[in-house]
Amino acid sequence: MNTIYDTDVLIIGSEGAGTRAAIAAAKQGASVLIVTKGRIGKSGATLMAAADISVDGASIFDVLGLSVGNSKDSPQIFLEDILRAGKFINNLPLAEKIVEAAPIRVKEMMAWGMKIRGVMQCPGHRYPRGVSTTGREIVRVLNKQLRSVDLTVKEYTFVIDLLTTGNSVIGAIGLDLRTGEFAVFRARAVILATGGGSMLYPIQTGAVELTGDGYAMALRAGARLVDFEMIQFMPLCLIGPLPYRGSYFPFSLVAESVDSLDGWLLNRRGERFMRRWDPELLEKTTRDKLSAAIGYEVKHGRGTPNGGIYLSLAHLPRNILDDFANRTLKLHLKKNWRFEGFDFSFIRDILSRGEALEVGPACHFFVGGIDVDLDCQTSLPGLFAAGEVVGGLHGANRLSGNACMEILVAGEMAGRKAAEYAKQANGSVVDQSQIDEIVTEAQAPLERKGSHTTFMVKKKIQERAWGKVGPIRDGQELEGALASLKELTHEHHQSGLTCKDRVYNPEWIQVLQNRNLLILLEAIIQCALAREESRGVHYRIDWPQQIEKWRCNLVVELTASGLEIYPRNPIE
């Protein structure tokens, strides 16, 4: 017998966007239920953020009351920078609304006790806009505020699919990982705040929970995705040692930023290859160019033994490094080179010996995502979305600091609008046959022996993603990858479990996640194949130029015959 929960607003995902949405919905008087795959405040992407929150310079002074604001800046100039970075395929009205509300939401967080470390000048921004804090601080403040409102939280529950009637979303069904039993959530409105899908890739900066569940559930329910080929890679992440693989220690201080040290990126031949990609800015160019350039070197056999490139400061005198560490790095690192809770003293030791570090791109952020309107409502009545799971704001590339801005602003909007929707919605009866169908499919792996292991399938999915839709793409390879997906999907359906336990069974969880990763992979491949140009974070070696006819969005829908991809003019 499935456990049944009833609520006005169901929020799937518990961190930045989900928690902010919950606070807003509860303050509207709605009954709120948060369901999360992990533990609230201890999982997801927000906790791992560096983090800076974008606010235009004038509002930093006028609204936030910080003396480091810049009166020459404005919301309009900030918006122009967002559009320029997004290569003009952004959802303009959505971007305008979020930029306008950003100072209000940050001031609110400051009133709730969020500590500010200063204001940063980040790449792509013409003025200092990065109100600097930490992801842990954002989570701390939001969770403290969460305890002041009346709501329910259900942890360690993997939501498998949305429940619908007609084209409206009326709830969801999930697996309680602690009991192995299914739970039915009936709701008048549902908010997806599930984050991105960085675990699609073998090297990533995100949390293990980010397996693209929200995208997959939205597609299967009938919602649209937009610009799903746009995946942002953080270019200078550690490739080794393995425990630190994918970590983005603040290398923007020694490369990537206009104010950084003169760090050199070298291929295995010792060539400073950025001279071919950006002769003027070199290593201080944008993240998308750095990621594409590094990917190109590795693909053509000029990478390091572990699949990266070398970051060297050996050309700089030792006293320059020591002075930089004492004056600048200490603003970002704690004593003994600790950053975000990790010990990075080995970096200091390597650099002090004049040796190079192995760095390379890691999947960092899904720029595209679920298509929403100005109220954060999807194309399906009753379904809202907020945070990284949403597309449109960033266009073809995301500026630093805009992710944290988005979770606070869009989270509040989604929560408030979902609560308003729930007040007007009539409760719908959940179709038992729909529940039975979802449960039957989810339990199938427990009942078969299988000829493939679920973790081997995951590895193949990640390898396919990294090799075909990583920092660089190629049309011929994309076509081959698309053709081979049928075989990979077959292996997924044939994968069995060596452990048949229902209670927190990692194999069972992984096979359910593989189902979502596969549909993500197909959508990314199809969109990357359709967009015959290079724009923002999407780089095609066979179409290296940006082409005006592709100044459009690519929309993804799941039909009876499979995924359908079609162009749409940017929303202006």
Q: What is the CATH number of the domain that holds 275?
A: 3.90.700.10
What angle separates helix 92-111 from helix 75-85, to the nearest 10 degrees? Answer: 120
pLDDT score at 20: 98
What's the residue count for the chain?
572
Q: 87 CB contacts (<8 Å, ≥6 apart)? A: 395, 396, 397, 535, 536, 546, 551
User: Is pTM beyond 0.85 here?
Assistant: yes
pLDDT score at 189: 98
Note whether 436 and 562 are same-domain residues.
yes
Q: 560 CB contacts (<8 Å, ≥6 apart)? A: none
Distance of CA 391 to the CA centre of its chain: 10
Q: How many domains does the chain have?
A: 2
* Beta-sheet pairing, 3-12 with 32-35: parallel
- Assess if residue 113 is contained within a domain: no
Listed residues 342, 361, 380: the one ending a domain: 361
pLDDT score at 352: 80
Q: Do 228 and 368 contact (CB within 8 A), yes or no?
A: yes
Which residues in the chain land under pLDDT 70? 1, 251-254, 256-259, 325-336, 340-341, 451
Question: Minimal CA–CA distance to 17: which of 349, 340, 303, 407?
Answer: 407
Residue 178, exposed/middle/buried by CB under 10 A (0-12, 13-18, 19+)? exposed
- Assess if residue 492 is contained within a domain: yes
Identify whether 361 is preceded by a cis peptide bond (ω within 30 of 0). no
List pLDDT tens digits, range 292-309: 999 999 999 999 988 999
- Assess if residue 462 is contained within a domain: yes
* Measured distance CA(499)–CA(508) in Å, rounded: 8
Task: Give the DSSP H/E element, type plus range, for residue 154.
Answer: strand 152-154
Residue 295, exposed/middle/buried by CB under 10 A (0-12, 13-18, 19+)? buried
pLDDT score at 326: 67
Alpha helices per DSSP H over 71-113: 75-85, 92-111
- Assess if residue 7 is contained within a domain: no
- Look up residue 307 and give its DSSP letter: S
Question: Minimal CA–CA distance to 38: which of 48, 30, 28?
Answer: 48
Give me 454's structure tokens. 């679920």
Q: How far is CA 169 from CA 21, 117, 188, 337, 562, in A?
A: 18, 42, 8, 48, 21
* Residue for token pair 């600091």: 401
* Measured distance CA(470)–CA(566) in Å, rounded: 22
pLDDT score at 329: 60
Note whether 447 and 559 are same-domain residues.
yes
List pLDDT tens digits, range 7-52: 999 999 999 999 999 999 999 999 999 999 999 988 888 888 878 8
* Measured distance CA(515)–CA(458) in Å, rounded: 10
Q: Do 205 and 362 contact (CB within 8 A), yes or no?
A: yes
Beta bridge partners of 130: 54, 120
Q: Do 36 and 210 contact (CB within 8 A), yes or no?
A: no
pLDDT score at 69: 83
* Measured distance CA(270)–CA(310) in Å, rounded: 8
Per residue, what are the HEC states of 105-133? HHHHHHHCCCCCCEEECCCCCCCCCEEEC
Give me 193's structure tokens. 């705040």
* Residue for token pair 């002041």: 148
Which amino acid is present at 5? Answer: Y
- Assess if residue 374 is contained within a domain: no
- Assess if residue 529 is contained within a domain: yes
* Beta-sheet pairing, 32-35 with 152-154: parallel
Listed residues 361, 387, 410: the one ending a domain: 361
pLDDT score at 128: 93
Question: Minimal CA–CA distance to 494: which of 511, 481, 506, 482?
Answer: 511
- Assess if residue 160 is contained within a domain: no
Give me 207's structure tokens. 């949390």
Torsion of CA 450, 451, 456, 458, to 10 degrees: -50
Listed residues 343, 361, 379: the one ending a domain: 361
* Measured distance CA(26)–CA(168) in Å, rounded: 22
Which domain covers residue 554, as residue numbers? 432-566
* Measured distance CA(243)–CA(248) in Å, rounded: 13
Residue 446 sits in a domain of what CATH number? 1.20.58.100
- Assess if residue 476 is contained within a domain: yes
Q: Do 60 and 103 contact (CB within 8 A), yes or no?
A: yes
